[in-house]
Amino acid sequence: MVAGSKANSSGIMRWLIVLAATGLLSQAALNLVRPVTTYKLISFGSGSFTVGAVTAAYAILPLFTAMLLGRVSSRIRRIRFLMVAGVGLIALGGLGVNLAPNALTVALASAVLGLGHLMFTIGGQSSIARYFPDRDLDKGFGWFTAAYAAGQFIGPLIAGIVLGTDTDAVSAERIADISLSLWIGAGCALLSIPFLLPNFQPRVSKSVSAARPERSSASIGSILRVKGMTSHMFASMMLLSMLDILTAFLPLVAEKHEVSPTAVGVLLAIRGCASVVSRLFIPKLSAHFERRHLLVASLYASGVSIALAPIFIDELWASGLALLVGGFFLGLGQPMTMTMISTSVPPVDRGAALAVRLMGNRLGQVALPLVSSSVAAGMGPAGAIWFCCALLCLSGVEKNRRH
């Protein structure tokens, strides 16, 4: 029994390493492609509304497929194949943005990119919920999302280095650099596949037979009726939407102030690096503080700090400091919501619950960029970021009132 337990523990750690490696690569690809997508749109002469619409398109397909894919992840035996399909679509979406001749085609490619990200994320999150003991969920989600944050650090940094310091949005050199960046992004996504094809999955599920996983009968309504679930979902939606708005609109703010793409890449990388650090400390923090308190701190502190970044965009050290603090607290929130949602339902329903969470996230990723772009039309692109920061703080108020 002890030998079997050690073997299973070893298998879980090996799988966590695979999840971390592929999470880093897929997110590096995604977070290279997405800010470069804004520069691609700028080269077409697009403004805030088009950037918001394309950002919303990223979440369209995931919005309608999240629950179906969540159910699939609950019963599929070889969950890694769902993740392989996801990174393949991320690569395809990056190539689509690269070859797109107009904004509409960029939006279609962005939708493919979003579906790929959803498939990979559901596969990774559901496998953690399936295989990890409850006491290790914070560790599993913390490592996985730390790898995501590391990718969010590496991707924009590579994009900024390739795009350089030229501020001419439509020069031939800028357009060539955009193309090169997108090729690199697609290639980075494909590097995940060799890690996923070998069967490194743990052999035994903690709750159901790995050979024949039990089917979840939970509906969207039954999951949302669980106590505290809608509050957790709202917080998760705001935290993820903040990343989208920041990634899409910070380049527009920078272009308005003649700040180079390299500087934007560094600023977004600072945010990602801070989130890596905070997520590595999650196991220790969750041992000393309640998850709810950590989540509320994440919502308030990130909302206030990130709102300062566009204000000080001309003083890069100050903007970077704001994103360093905001990124640290932003990094705490997502894994907290994953754990809180997972532990609110029976083990067999965890894949479905995480899928509902992702569906809620995608609803926010569709609606908020469109609303934010309308705000940006009146206040400038910084207004979109401030609007989302206000919603983060509102979510913190809701959490405090609930308890």
DSSP state of 345: S
> 3-class secondary structure for 193-259?
HHHHCCCCCCCCCCCCCCCCCCCCCCCHHHHHCCCCHHHHHHHHHHHHHHHHHHHHHHHHHHHHCCC
d(CA 216, CA 373): 38
Query: Residue 34 burial (CB < 10 Å; 0-12/13-18/19+)?
Result: buried
Angle, helices 103-131 vs 79-99, to 10°: value is 160
The number of C-alpha atoms within 13 Å of 249 and in the hemisphere containing its C-beta is 36
Alpha helices in 100-197 (DSSP H): 103-131, 137-163, 172-190, 193-196
Domain parsing of the chain, residue ranges: 15-198+230-402
DSSP state of 343: T
pLDDT of res. 3:
43
d(CA 206, CA 12): 11
d(CA 324, CA 253): 18
**Structure tokens, 176:** 């060539």
pLDDT of res. 208:
44
DSSP state of 132: S
Q: pTM score, two decimals?
A: 0.78
Numbers of helices and strands, H then E, in the chain: 16, 0
Contact (Cβ atoms closer than 8 angstroms) between residue 271 and residue 246: yes
**Structure tokens, 188:** 């980075």
What values do phi and psi take at 329, rounded to 5? -75, -35
pLDDT of res. 1:
41
Query: 3-state class of 170 per DSSP?
Result: coil
pLDDT of res. 267:
93
pLDDT of res. 113:
94
**CA–CA distance from 288 to each of 139, 255, 283, 313, 343 (Å)?**
14, 43, 9, 36, 19
pLDDT of res. 310:
93
Residues 6+ away with beta carbon under 8 Å from 6:
none
List the pLDDT tens digit at each of the 403 positions of the chain: 444 444 456 677 888 888 889 999 999 999 899 889 988 998 888 888 888 888 888 888 887 887 777 777 767 778 888 899 999 999 999 999 999 999 999 999 999 999 999 899 888 888 887 777 777 777 787 788 788 878 888 988 898 888 877 666 677 788 888 999 999 999 999 999 998 888 777 765 555 444 444 555 667 788 888 888 888 888 888 998 898 889 888 988 988 888 888 899 899 989 988 988 887 787 788 778 888 888 899 999 999 999 999 999 989 999 999 999 999 998 888 878 888 888 888 877 777 787 788 788 888 888 888 888 887 777 888 888 999 999 999 998 988 776 5
> Which residue from 120, 111, 333, 137 is spatially nearest to 242, judged by alpha carbons?
333
CATH class of 15-198+230-402: mainly alpha
